[in-house]
Structure formats: C-alpha cells, structure tokens
Amino acid sequence: MAGQSITILGIETSCDETAAAVVRNGRRILSSVVASQTKLHERFGGVVPEIASRAHLEKILPVVEQALEQARVRPAEIDAVAVAHQPGLAIALIVGVTAAKTLAFAWQKPLIGINHLHAHLQSAILASETMELPAVALIVSGGHTSLYEAESALELKLLGSTIDDAAGEAFDKVATILGLLYPGGPHIEKMARQGNPKAIAFPRSLLDKESLDFSFSGLKTAVLYHCQGQDMKGQNRVTSMSQQEISDIAASFQQAVVDTLIIKTLRAVRKVGAKTVLVGGGVAANSALREAMGKMCNENKLALLIASKPLCTDNAAMVASLAYYYYQAGRFAGLDLEPVATS
C-alpha cells in the first residue's frame, strides 16, 4: 500500500450538522462541506432530534454531491466511504449511516464506521506530522467532556468524563438563561470579551483531589441562582440587567469552565506522564480556552495539538481523515453497520 494514494469520502450526521468531505491520505482535505441546522434549532435553545433528522434527509445527497464536486473527484476515484456511526442522536446518525451504506454498495467500495469522538481528536492530530507519546486528549463538545490517554488516533483509554452536563451543554444552557441564542458557546464567548472574568466567583467543581471526571451542572445552577435568586422565586433579572452585567456573568462563567478544563487536563498529564496534549470538539473553538491551554502547555513544556477553529465543530473532514488509518489497518465495516447512540 506504500505510495498508494487513498481518497476517502466522509459523512457526518450525528447531531445538527449535515457534512461530507473528501480527504486524501488522511491529511489533504480536498473538500469539506457543512450544512448547519443552527437556524432551525435556534428558537428551541437546543437540538430537536426530529427536526435534525428531517433536515439531514433533505441535505445529505446535495451535501455529498457538493463535496465530490468541490474536490473534483468522481465516485470511481473514491477508495472508501466512511461514516460517523456513533455516538449521537440515533435518528440523526441513521441518515448518514444509510447514505454511506447505499453509496458503498452502489459504488462497490469498502465501508468504514468511525467513532465521532475519536474523529474530533483526529481533527487535532491532522495538522501535525508527528506526535510525541504518551498524549492526553481532551474532547469538549456539546455532548461530551472526556479525557483520554491516547496511544494513537486508533487507541484511546478513557481516563474521566462528565458525570452530568457536558461543557458545551453548559455553555448552551447558560446562554438560554442569559437570553442568548443557540448554540450558546460562540454567543457567550462574544459577550465575555467585554466582561470581567473575576466579577462573580462561580464554583469550580473539581470533585475530589484525584478525580479526572467533570461536573458542570452545579456551575450552571450557580448562574441560574445568580440570575433568579437562591429561592428561584425572584423574577429572572436578566431582562433588566445591563449589557455589562450580562457580559460579566458570561466572562465569569466561561472562566470557571476554562479553569476546570485546564486543571483536569494537567492532572491527567501528570498521571500518565504525557508529553503532548490534544484538544478537539466544539468548545475547543473557544479563544479563552485555546489561550489558557497554550499557556498551560508552555509552562509545563508540553506539545499542544489543538484542532483548527473550522475543524472544532462537527465536520466530515475529521471522519474521512481518521478513516484513512482504518483503511490502512483493514478495519472495514459490513453493510450491517448500525448507528449506535452511545459511545
């Protein structure tokens, strides 16, 4: 297989982005098309699975066609079809899985099933030629907040994960409390730029001294109490707050999330003696987190591989990229590949 060029079509429909991409040899992104459903879910303050599924159905074939067109690649030049088949919303995943199976069958190409979370880490690895091991990997997305020990993109050992809300979920819920739109992360980040991160001392839930698990629901509740009063009988004061007050809450909340993620990542680094930190997932697009991770890695002489901003949120380039290593390892799926909601 040495010297052979491998071109893979990747498909991603695990949540609220319909995406397709063509990637050559795991690194060269020939196209990456993402049809976002943000506008459809915005007014509900979160993703409505039935709406997501219907939108995936409408978009999947045009998005795949666009990805092939932009890559200037014909189906005959595709070596495999890869799809994120877990974890995610079952009725969303099934659209991508069915499309991938149908294309693989029609084009007579091998099918590859990819774990969406592992693909998020691949988007961090993608930009770098080398990775010094052992590495600690942090996935921070709307559905997951997890720390892994990574031996390669294919071998991950779970060290800890959230026991309640994911970091992105906390951003989304706090945004709703503050009257901001879905998805909350980018809106909170924008408000936080004008705010004082030390204005309110929100809690950092670190569980016990050794724990690598996360908990963000207490922080979310602390923001709610701050806005509505401890007994929750008070009016939500947000409507009468100044922009500065809202910015201060956003900045203080964001700082609490960032501090927690940094402390836990450093704990994991010390536990496994890591030399590299990998960060991926939607929340990794957050500038405050990127800056703090950079500083922590610098101070501790660690290499930091963090996904480029466009590849932090859901996309199919990360799926097609990871699939290259599956292809090389001969890890193919059968046409009985099923969507799996949990990881």
> What angle is formed at CA 261 by the lines to CA 214 and CA 298, rounded to 5 degrees?
150
Tokens, residue 28: 């060269």
Q: Which does 191 bind (CB under 5 to 8 A by kind): ligand KG4, Zn ion, none?
A: none
| Collapsed DSSP state (helix, strand, coil) of residue 113 | strand
Tokens, residue 218: 């207490």
In whole angstroms, the minimum distance from the beta carbon of 282 to ligand KG4 comes to 2
Q: Decide if residue 10 touches ligand KG4 (CB under 6 A).
A: no
- 19 bridge partner residues: 12, 34
Q: Decide if residue 189 touches Zn ion (CB under 5 A).
A: no
Q: Give Cα separations from 197 to 69, 146, 170, 194, 290 (angstroms).
A: 46, 24, 17, 10, 16
Task: Report the 10 Å Cβ neighbour count for 41.
Answer: 20
> What angle is formed at CA 283 by the lines to CA 46 and CA 115, rounded to 5 degrees?
85
Q: Give Cα separations from 186 to 31, 175, 214, 272 (angstroms).
A: 24, 10, 21, 32
Q: Decide if residue 172 touches ligand KG4 (CB under 6 A).
A: yes
Count of chain residues binding ligand KG4 (CB under 6 A)? 19
Q: Decide if residue 189 touches ligand KG4 (CB under 6 A).
A: yes
Q: Is-contact 84 13, C-beta < 8 A?
A: yes
Q: Which of 7, 141, 215, 254 forms a contact with Zn ion (CB under 5 A)?
A: 141
Task: Using the minimum distance from each CB to Zn ion, give the nearer residue, 17 or 248.
Answer: 17
Q: Decide if residue 12 touches Zn ion (CB under 5 A).
A: no
Q: Which of 185, 195, 197, 339 forms a contact with ligand KG4 (CB under 6 A)?
A: 185
- Compute the distance between CA of residue 182 and CA of residue 113 in angstroms, rounded to an integer: 29
Task: Using the minimum distance from each CB to ligand KG4, give the nearer residue, 195 or 281.
Answer: 281
Q: Decide if residue 165 touches Zn ion (CB under 5 A).
A: no
- Compute the distance between CA of residue 269 and CA of residue 1 in angstroms, rounded to an integer: 35
In whole angstroms, the minimum distance from the beta carbon of 96 to ligand KG4 comes to 13
Q: Decide if residue 142 touches ligand KG4 (CB under 6 A).
A: yes
Tokens, residue 165: 């809300």
Q: Decide if residue 283 touches ligand KG4 (CB under 6 A).
A: yes
Which range binds Zn ion by CB under 5 A, 192-200, 230-238, 254-262, 310-318?
A: 310-318
Which range binds ligand KG4 by CB under 6 A, 26-34, 227-235, 268-276, 283-291?
A: 283-291
Query: Which DSSP string corresponds to 117-131?
Result: HHHHHHHHHTT-S--
Task: Using the minimum distance from each CB to ligand KG4, give the nearer residue, 38 or 235.
Answer: 38
- Compute the distance between CA of residue 140 and CA of residue 143 in angstroms, rounded to an integer: 8
In whole angstroms, the minimum distance from the beta carbon of 166 to ligand KG4 comes to 7
- Residues at the site binding ligand KG4, with contacts judged by CB under 6 A: 15, 141-143, 168, 171-172, 183-186, 189, 281-283, 285-286, 313-314
- Residues at the site binding Zn ion, with contacts judged by CB under 5 A: 141, 314
